[in-house]
Amino acid sequence: MRRHGLGHSAVAVTELAFGAAAIGNLFTPVGDAQAEEAVDAAWQAGIRYFDTAPHYGLGLSEHRLGEALRGRPRAEYVLSTKVGRILEPAPGAGGDDLADGFAVPATHRRRWDFSAAGVRRSIEESLARLDLDRIDIVYLHDPDDHAEQALDQAYPELHRLRDEGVLGAIGVGMNQAELPARFVRETDIDVVLLAGRYSLLDQRGLAELLPVAAERGVGLVVGGVFNSGLLADPAPGATFDYAAAPAELLARALRLKAVCERHGVPLRAAALRFPFGHPAVASVLVGLRSAGQAEDAAAMLRHPVPDVLWEELTDQGLLPAGVPTPLDPRNGTEEPS
Point out the residues that are catalytic: 56
CA 274 – CA 276 distance, rounded (Å): 6
Q: Angle 291-302/32-44 helices, nearest 10 degrees?
A: 20
Q: What does each C-alpha distance from 93 to 25, 85, 104, 151, 247 come to in angstroms?
A: 19, 18, 12, 33, 40
Q: How far apart are CA 104 and CA 152, in angstroms?
A: 34
Residue 93 pairs in a beta bridge with none
> Can you tell me whether residue 138 is helix, strand or coil?
strand
Cα separation, 202 vs 192, in Å, equals 17
Integer Rg of the chain from CA: 19
The 3-state DSSP class for residue 153 equals helix
